[in-house]
Amino acid sequence: MSAGPRSQELYREACRLMPAGVNSPVRAFHSVGGEPIFHASAAGCRITDVDGRSYIDYVGSWGPLILGHAHPAVVEAVASAAARGLSFGAPCEAEIELARLLAETVDHLEMVRFVSSGTEAVMSAVRLARGVTGRDDVLKFSGCYHGHADHLLVSAGSGLATFGRPSSAGVPAAFAGHTLVLPLDDDTALERLFAERGDRLAAVLMEGIPANAGLLVQRQGYLRRLRELCTEHGVLLILDEVITGFRLGPGGAAGLYGITPDLATYGKIIGGGLPVGAYGGSRRLMEQLAPLGPVYQAGTLSGNPVAMAAGAATLHELLDDGGSAWERLERTAGRLQQGLGAAFHDAGLPFSIARAGSILWLSLQEGPPPRRFEDIDDDAAERYAALHSALLDEGVYLAPSAYEVMFVSTVHDEADIDETVAAFGRALARVGGEMRP
C-alpha cells in the first residue's frame, strides 16, 4: 500500500528538512520499499495515521509501550509531573521512586544511574567496566545491538574471534579495534576467545535475549557458561536489558535464565515512552562513578521529573497486580503465535515464529528459529516487503523491517489478536504468491 495523501505530503516536506525525512533510519521504510506513514494519534493498541487510517500496532514505539499507547495512568502521571516543572537540573523525589522500583525488583541492582537513552546507558556501563578493570577490550556478539556508540557500531571481521570492523562510516578503526565480535551460540569459539584474550577483556556485552536482528533465543547453558568464564577471567558481564527489562517479567532475562550480571542496562519500558535509560549493579561498582569515583558520566536532563514519572507509573502498573500483567501478555502473545502459525500453514508458505513472552519474531524462512545472526536468510527478509505492505492495507502495523520483532502490549486483547490473525489470512491470500522462495 502507498501511504495516504497527507502522509505523502508530510514526507516530502520532512525529506527537505531531515535526512530521509526521519530521525532514526529504520523509520524511513527503506527496507520494505515504501514510504513512511505519518501518525497523528494513538490509544491502546491502535495507532491512527494523518489520513485517518487506523492500525493494530505491533511496533509499540519499538518496545517501550508495554501498556499500549497513552495509558491513562502514565498520561496522568506525566501531566501532573509536568505541571510541577519540566526539569530541575537538581535532585527530585521522582528519581528515588524509579530507582527504588528498579532496586527492589531486580536482585543485582543495588544502585542505578539514570541517563536519557539506551545508547547512553550501554556506553556508560562499558566506560565504567573499563574504568574498574583497567582493561580496554570488550566482547560483543554479532546480531546484537547495543545502541550507536562508536565502539559498539562494529561487526565481525573475517574469521572467528577477530577484532571488529566499524559498521558505520565515521567510526575510527582504532575504536572498533577494542571490540571483539563472536557469533552467538558457539561454545567452542567462546572458550577459545576467553583462553586467548579473556584476561584483556574489560567486559562482555550480551543482550538479555537478542531481539534487534530477529529474535535469537539463546540456550541457558551457553549463557551460564559465559557467566562462569567472565568470573574466571575477571571480566564484567554487562547484560543489556534495554528491550528485555520488564518485558519478559520483573527480573528480565537475568531472572528468566537465572544469571547474575555485574552490570545491567535498561531503557525503553522504564521510561514509559519518554527518553530514559539506566545502568546499575553493585554498590561497589556504581560508587566508582563521578563524583565518588574516577569514571565520569553526566547528563543535563538525566533523571528529569517528567520522564521519571512516566517510568514509575509504567512499572507500578506492571508490578502492582502481582505479576498478572506478564501472565496476560504470555497468553495473548501465545494466541498470536498460534494464530499466525495456522495462517501461514493454511497458506502453505515457509515461516518460523520465535517468541519470548510478548516479543515475537516472524521470519519467512523454514525450520526452527535461528539462534545465530549468520543463520538468518537474507532472501526471506526480502520477501517480507510484500507482506508488510499487504498488512498495512488490512489495518495491521508491523515494523518496516524483516529483522525487527513484534511487541504485544497488555491492552491487545483476544479480539485484537483474532482480528490480526484474520488480517494476516487475507494478506497471505492476496500476496502469498510473491512470498514463495
Residues in touch with ligand PLP (CB under 6 A):
117-119, 122, 145-147, 207, 212, 240, 242-243, 267, 277
Strand segments, DSSP code E, in 164-313 are: 165-166, 179-182, 201-207, 236-240, 263-266, 277-281
Nearest to 68 by CA among 391, 252, 339, 329: 329
Which CB atom, from 170 or from 348, has the smaller least distance to ligand PLP? 170
Inter-residue contact 49 to 41 (CB < 8 Å): no
Cβ–Cβ under 8 Å, residues 279 and 113 = yes
Q: Please report where in the chains the cell 554479532 appears, as a residue.
A: 142
Which residue in 137, 186, 240, 416 is the catalytic one?
Answer: 240
Closest approach of Cβ 166 to ligand PLP, in Å?
18
Residue nearest ligand PLP by beta-carbon distance: 118
**Active site annotation includes 140:** no
Min separation Cβ 242 and ligand PLP, Å: 3
Cell for 370?
Answer: 535461528
Of 35 and 207, the one with the shorter C-beta distance to ligand PLP is: 207
User: What does the DSSP 8-state code read for residue 143?
Assistant: T
CB of 364 to ligand PLP, least distance (A): 23
List Cβ neighbours of 306 (8 Å cut-off, separation of 6 or more). Answer: 78, 81, 82, 86, 87, 274
Please identify, using beta-carbon distances, which residue of 194 and 407 lies nearer to ligand PLP: 407
Write down the least CB distance from residue 43 to ligand PLP, Å.
23
* Angle, alpha carbons 398-407-409 (nearest 5°): 120
How many Å apart are CA 297 and CA 237, to the nearest integer? 20
Q: Return the number of the residue (43 or 149) whose C-beta is nearest ligand PLP.
A: 149
268 is catalytic: yes
Q: Measured between alpha carbons, how far is 227 from 262 in angstroms, rounded to an integer? A: 9
Amino acid symbol at 214: G
Name the CA radius of gyration of the chain, rounded.
21
Q: Quick count: other Cβ atoms within 10 Å of Cβ 68?
A: 19
| Closest CB 120 distance from ligand PLP, rounded Å | 7
**Toward ligand PLP, which CB reaches closer, 246 or 344?**
246
Of 55, 140, 262, 268, catalytic: 268
CB 199 within 8 Å of CB 233: yes
Cell of 207: 543482550
- Which CB atom, from 198 or from 277, has the smaller least distance to ligand PLP? 277
Own/partner long-range contacts of 290-299 (Cβ < 8 Å, ≥24 apart): 293/131, 294/131, 295/127, 295/128, 295/131, 295/132, 297/113, 297/115, 297/124, 297/127, 297/128, 299/114, 299/115, 299/116, 299/120
| Cβ(47)–Cβ(1) below 8 Å | no
- Least CB distance from residue 433 to ligand PLP, whole Å? 34
Q: Which is nearer to ligand PLP, 44 or 118 (CB)?
A: 118
Helix then strand then coil, in percent of the chain rounded to 5, is 45, 15, 40
Residue 118 or residue 198: which is nearer to ligand PLP going by CB?
Answer: 118
Which residue out of 11, 58, 145, 266 is catalytically annotated? 145
Instruction: Give the Å distances, CA to CA, from 159 to 25, 84, 163, 182, 370.
Output: 29, 56, 10, 9, 20
Q: Is 413 a catalytic residue?
A: no
- Active-site residues, by number, are 145, 240, 268
